[in-house]
Amino acid sequence: MAPLSRLERLKKLQAERTDDLPERPPTPPQPQSVANENTSPEKLVSTLTPIASGKGRTKDVKGSTPFIPKKSHPPPATTASSSEDDGPADTLSSSATPSRELRYLWYTAPQLPIVPPKRGELADVKENFCPILPISKFPYKYIPGQKDTDLVAHEFFDGGKFWFRQWDLYYVWHPDGGKPLILIRTEQVAKLLRQINDNFSHLSLSLDRPHFREVGLIITFPQHPTCRPRYLGRSSSKEDFTNMEANTPEASHKLAGEADPGKEEPESLAAFKRMIEAAQELNKAKRKATKAKNQEVRVVQQRMVGQQLKRAQRFLGLRPKNEQQDDSEAAVTAGLVPPIDNQLPVPYPFESSVVYISIDVESYERNHNLITEIGIATLDTNDLQGVPPGKDGENWREKIRARHFRIREYSHLQNAEFVQGCAGSFRFGKSEMIALADARHMIAECFREPFHELTIEEAAASWKLSEDEIKAQSQEEKRKIVLVGHDVNQDIQYLQKLGYNPLNLSNIVEPHDTAALYKSLRQEVQPRSLGSILADLDITGWFLHNAGNDAVYTMQVLLGICVRDASMRGTKEAVEEIQRRQEQRVKEKMDEARERALDDQKGWSDVEGDDGGPPLGRR
């Protein structure tokens, strides 16, 4: 037996060497192939994710040959802590420290839940999902420019790279039958896009584009259990996916002990069907008939947005209703309204004397059910009487009033991973800290006269009005309200989560979406971000993603769109600008087609200078 002093020295030396090893996070779950002692090393390596290294490059963890763990070194087990002072329950025991190479491989693998849900378990109501098949073709469908498409596809999608990633699969069935729709969580898709952005920073890919929700790429399912996805399993290859899809549980499948959900509301069921059908349409390959149908739908949508822009201009006195033009003027203009002079008061009445109310809601990026900020900006068209709008409506901007509410319970949550939050940087007034329970009351006060002018104390007092006082107020004539937002439907959904639905108000005329209105102004198909539109209108946007600031900037964008279009309509400059943009788009498409044709030709002409070489013989 070794002397006691020698054992002590060995223990001390081992401790020093162990301390030199880098820290590592809790061990993620190993795929079935890792835990199985009979799994071949080659199969094991195929489940590991390569590490991005530099722009547009990937490399293996250890040189050009991946490190293959031996059977004699299985993954270390996790041990639960015996007390709170011992650290998290999922930390490694000190006696199970893996080798440097193996730890590095695990660290770079996708961070999935340590314990996956049970097969058939209902998804959390807070989760959003993407259909996996369109995501597997993301660069070809949603990245403009053939060059960028090819680069991203080569690094992250081609050759099965997309399917070698670990994906948590969920499924839903259409109520009328058919094939199951296989889904993945948007959180996993967002991680993939962040990795692509790390390699190709100029792309700035994000799931925040309103277009993705419109076409069914991002789905928020109704809360009723019948309409929610269920967990299918974890895949790490196309073969895994195919097998799981073929063995998807029936639509009637429920876990043991699961309560009877009852019958869903007809409205929820109809919305659920539309979501499934939109996502299934994305799964299909483009056919001529589908393309023609989509084009027809797009034409109708673009016409509707153009009509919305004209109605917005009528509310702002920038365009007359048809009956307000006399016969002689209509004959001269041949149905076209002349441009306005933005340095003079508007020539037409402010139709309906509306109040514009712009809304913006910010939520925590890790849980969008946690509403952190509410921004509300108002513009009373009565305040614009006799005031020239100025270039892009700049003279009217000072008439906008704004409020910024922060939810006290979530004020410690700060967005920094997907967007840079700046809740403490409201530039158009003083932020107000309110309790979550009071949020819907404060929002409601902003939709009542005198619109924005009540303090928190005054608003609280109004909640205690008697029934007679409330009845007397309801009998007063209400001002008409036009709701404004950038992707306004999403902000309305956030307000509904707080217990307030502005669409229930009888005096709401309609919502106006600045993302759609700007598409009409520029005659573009894809929506732009708020920051991009501000830059085009030469408006400096400070501290975006503060809900109060964004509500004000959204209102400024509305004014800029309406006034710019009214100032240029029918002019030679406007016609030339439209033609220039059309020619630019055609040129870009032709350049892409030419580059694609040249790439396809490579290889055929490279062998013209030789004689073919020696015969290859029989194969």
Predicted local distance difference test score (pLDDT) of residue 564: 95
Q: How far apart are CA 312 and CA 348, in angstroms?
A: 13
Cα–chain center distance at 248? 28
Q: What is the pTM of this model?
A: 0.52
- Give the residue-averaged pLDDT of 10-21: 58
Tokens of 618: 């029989």
Query: Both 80 and 197 in a single domain?
Result: no
Number of domains in the chain: 3
Q: What is the pLDDT of residues 321-341, one digit of tens each?
A: 876 544 435 434 445 789 999
Query: Both 339 and 383 in a single domain?
Result: yes
State whether residue 89 is helix, strand or coil: coil
Query: Both 274 and 185 in a single domain?
Result: yes
Query: Both 512 and 392 in a single domain?
Result: yes
Query: Both 166 and 272 in a single domain?
Result: yes
pLDDT at 510 over 80: yes
Query: Both 159 and 46 in a single domain?
Result: no
CB-side neighbour CA atoms (13 Å) of 440: 11
Q: Which residues contact 127 (CB under 8 A, 6 or more apart)?
A: 185, 186, 187, 229
Q: What is the pLDDT of residues 257-310, one digit of tens each?
A: 888 877 777 777 888 888 888 888 877 655 545 566 666 677 778 888 889 999
State whether residue 171 is helix, strand or coil: strand
pLDDT at 609 over 50: yes
Predicted local distance difference test score (pLDDT) of residue 4: 55
Query: Both 89 and 139 in a single domain?
Result: no
| CA angle (34, 39, 42) in 5-degree steps | 90
Query: Both 351 and 497 in a single domain?
Result: yes
Is residue 64 in some structural domain?
Answer: yes
Query: Both 401 and 327 in a single domain?
Result: yes
Is residue 123 in some structural domain?
Answer: no
Better-predicted residue by pLDDT, 611 or 169: 169
Domain that holds residue 328: 312-405+478-572
Which range, 62-66, 69-73, 192-196, 198-202, is most confident? 192-196
Q: Which amino acid is at 549?
A: N
Q: Which amino acid is at 31?
A: P
pLDDT at 78 over 50: no
Is residue 410 in some structural domain?
Answer: no
| CA angle (587, 562, 482) in 5-degree steps | 125
- Give the residue-averaged pLDDT of 346-365: 95
Predicted local distance difference test score (pLDDT) of residue 73: 39
Q: How many helices (H) and strands (E) does the chain have?
A: 22, 12
Query: Both 377 and 486 in a single domain?
Result: yes
Q: What is the pLDDT of residues 220-232, one digit of tens each?
A: 888 888 888 999 9
Tokens 């989560």 map to which residue?
497
Longest dimension (CA), the chain: 116
Query: Both 385 and 515 in a single domain?
Result: yes
Query: Both 495 and 381 in a single domain?
Result: yes
Q: How far apart are CA 276 and CA 287, in angstroms?
A: 19
DSSP 502: G
Range scoring the smallest mean pLDDT among 27-31, 220-224, 313-317? 27-31
Using the CB atoms, write b or e for 68-100: b if 16+ within 10 Å. ebeeeeebbebeeeeeeeeeeeebbeeeeebee
